[in-house]
Amino acid sequence: MEHIVIIGNGISGVTAARHIRKLSDKKITIISAETEYFFSRTALMYVYMGHMKFEHTQPYESWFWKKNSIELKQAFVKTIDTENNKLVFASGEDFSYDKLIIATGSKPNKFGWPGQDLNGVMGMYHKQDLENLEKFAPDNKTCKRAVIVGGGLIGIEMAEMLHSRNIPVTFLVRETSFWNGVLPAQESELINKEILNNHIDLRLGVNLQEIKSDANGNASSIIIKETGEEIACNVVGLTAGVSPNIDFIKDSAIETGRGVKVNRFLETNINNIYAIGDCAEQHEAIGERRNIEAVWYTGRMMGETLAQTICGNPTEYKPGHWFNSAKFMDIEYQTYGWVWAKPKENEARFYWESSCNKKAIHINFDKNTRQFIGINTFGIRMRHPFFDKVLTNKKSIDYVLEHLADANFDPEFYKLHEPEIIAKFNKENNTNIKLKKKSWKRIFSKTLNA
């Protein structure tokens, strides 16, 4: 029986294993150094915040693996011997495979800052980081202040985590406004306000110079490069992005760039080796997507796709329309299609913000054809299938606005802002768009009809 070995028990590796099991009775082994069972990295913050226990982050009960005869092995892979089709573990043990799937995810970036390896300095990626944070920042007596370096999604989550235990947080962001490499100015400003509202000391446009240590090798303060200011702290969170966790592969015959290089079938340059998830790097980007996509659902989709290929139905990885979501403190964010930080030449924008400054939508559309390109929504939930259909059928912004009631996904009894939004659009664009009543028929139909 063919033995499929998967390195990494994250969402991509586990999804691949589950789908291979559905399609075949191949022998499957998942190897991971981090934890015995699969857990949701995305929920690490909620464990520290006390919303959940670690066990709640595990989507499958422990009997699941045995029942589906997926073998689990806790070990660290040190090298891959592609000639002999075997792995070598840190313990020295060998492990053979017939087909190998590399799904080793990411690791936090460190840019060689002085002091980056001191006690109390940590990323927020692995379970061990969570344990570390619990150790160095159990409460605001042990940790009098924490400094977070890097204003991305994990950075703001880490700020929220520490804030939940009333630990004062200083948040160093290199950009001039939070995440403005991705978010347009208005949304970025909205989030700046949300961060400040939560009494987080947000410092925009600054970099870390160094982390200083006390006599025991613990972090004791940081220095800001631009101002030379020293900020005393007990914990430093390094959240300046992530990069593929593939150091152990660099010396093997497998081709790597920033990540493990793969083609559309998620195959590496070695015949029986594949890579999926955060660690995979497409030779050529797919559409407007990046070559490396470190998000949850793309890892899952790569796992679903690769399972087909491995089980005899060669399938290209073709992610559909881009979408994503996040939460910034209390503000939920969803995006469908593309809304770049700065409009491209052919693009026009429509922005609406509620009077409470906690809700906003930003639509990107083509100036000339009026085709809908993408939407950012803050504090208002929207239906994924709606926008997926709109994008597939290349509908116009007028269509989207007319059918905004179909798109709304907020819980029942929520205040509906659609009329207000459309009124604003009509005024700005001299149009006469009228909101249509929500229609179940349209919501459920597979195709779109105007």
Partner 1 sequence: MKTIKNIGLITALIGFFIFTASIFTGTNNVTQEIFNTWTSQNVKSDYFINKAQQEIVGKELSTFELSSKIIAIAKESDAFEKGQENINWNKIIKVKWNVTSKNFVYPLVRASATGWVSKNQGLFFFLTFGLAIIGGVLAFGADYKLLGPAGIKNNGIFQHSATNRGYLGMIACIYFVAFYMLLYFYPNYLINPILSVNQISKGLSGNGSSQWFLYGFMYCSVMTVFAIRMFIKYRHNNYQLVRTSVVLFFQVAFAFLIPEILVAFNMPWFDFKNAWPLDYDFFFDLGKDWSLMSQGQVGLFMFVWGIVLTLVIVPVMVYFYGKRWYCSWVCGCGGLAETLGDPYRQLSSKSLFSWKVERWLIHGVLLFATLMTALTLYIFFAEIESWKELAFGITAYDVQSSYGFLIGSIFSGVIGTGFYPILGNRVWCRFGCPLAAYMGFVQRFKSRFRITTNGGQCISCGNCSTYCEQGIDVRAYAQKGENIVRSSCVGCGVCSAVCPRGVLKLENGPEDGRINPTQILLGNDVDLMELVNEK
Q: Which of 315, 444, 300, 303 is nearest to 386 (CA)?
A: 444
| CB neighbourhood size of 159 (10 A) | 26
**Considering the rule CB under 8 A, would residue 381 count as an interface residue with partner 1?**
yes
Residue whose token pair is 């043990």: 93
| Residue for token pair 């998620």 | 266
395 binds ligand FAD (CB under 6 A): no
CB of 189 to ligand FAD, least distance (A): 22
Instruction: Write down the least CB distance from residue 388 to partner 1, Å.
Output: 6
Q: Based on the number of CB atoms within 10 Å of its own CB, is 310 exposed (0-12), middle (13-18) or buried (19 or more)? A: buried
Minimum CB–partner distance for residue 159 and partner 1 (Å) = 13
DSSP for 39-56 reads --GGGHHHHHTTSS-GGG
Which of ligand FAD, partner 1, none does residue 198 bind (CB under 5 to 8 Å by kind)? partner 1
Q: Cβ neighbours of residue 84 under 8 Å, at least 6 residues apart? A: 96
**How many chain residues are in contact with ligand FAD, going by CB under 6 A?**
35
Question: Could you say whether residue 207 binds partner 1 (CB under 8 A)?
Answer: no
Binding mask of the shown chain, residues 280 to 319, with x at each position contacting partner 1 by CB under 8 A: ----------------xx--xx--xx--x------xxxxx
Cα separation of 299 and 306, whole Å? 11
Residue of minimal Cβ distance to ligand FAD = 105
Q: How far is the CB of 171 from partner 1 (least distance, A)?
A: 17
Q: For the CB of residue 303, give the shortest distance to ligand FAD in the complex, in Å.
A: 8
Q: Choosing among partner 1, ligand FAD, none, which partner's interface includes residue 100 (Cβ < 5 to 8 Å by kind)? A: none
Question: Which one, 110 or 321, has the nearer CB to partner 1?
Answer: 321
With CA atoms as reference, report the closest residue to 234 among 128, 155, 132, 108.
132
> Quick one: which of 120, 184, 277, 337 contacts ligand FAD (CB under 6 A)?
277
What are the strands, taking DSSP E only, across 113-195? 121-122, 146-149, 169-173
**Residues 145-174 contacting ligand FAD, CB under 6 A:** 154, 157
Instruction: Tell me the closest approach of the beta carbon of residue 19 to partner 1, in angstroms.
Output: 8
- Asked if residues 251 and 262 have their Cβ atoms less than 8 Å apart, the reply is no
Displacement of CA 292 from its chain's centroid (Å): 11
Q: Is 76 an interacting residue with respect to ligand FAD (CB under 6 A)?
A: yes
Tell me the C-alpha distance between 363 and 365, whole Å: 7
d(CA 435, CA 397): 13
Among the listed residues 49, 88, 223, 341, the single contact to partner 1 using CB under 8 A: 49
Over the window 244 to 283, marking each residue x when it contacts partner 1 by CB under 8 A and - when it does not, the resulting string is ----------------------------------------
DSSP summary character for residue 250: T
Q: In what order do the strands lie in the sheet with 94-96?
A: 77-81, 86-89, 94-96
CB atoms within 10 A of CB 166: 9
- Under rule CB under 6 A, residue 10 binds ligand FAD: yes
Interface residue list for ligand FAD (CB under 6 A)? 7-13, 31-34, 41-42, 44-45, 76-77, 103-106, 124-125, 154, 157, 245, 248, 277-278, 294-297, 299, 326
Interface residue list for partner 1 (CB under 8 A)? 11, 19, 22, 40, 42-43, 46, 49-53, 56-59, 61, 63, 164-165, 197-198, 296-297, 300-301, 304-305, 308, 315-321, 323, 325-327, 329-330, 332, 334, 381-385, 388, 392, 409-415, 440-441, 443-444
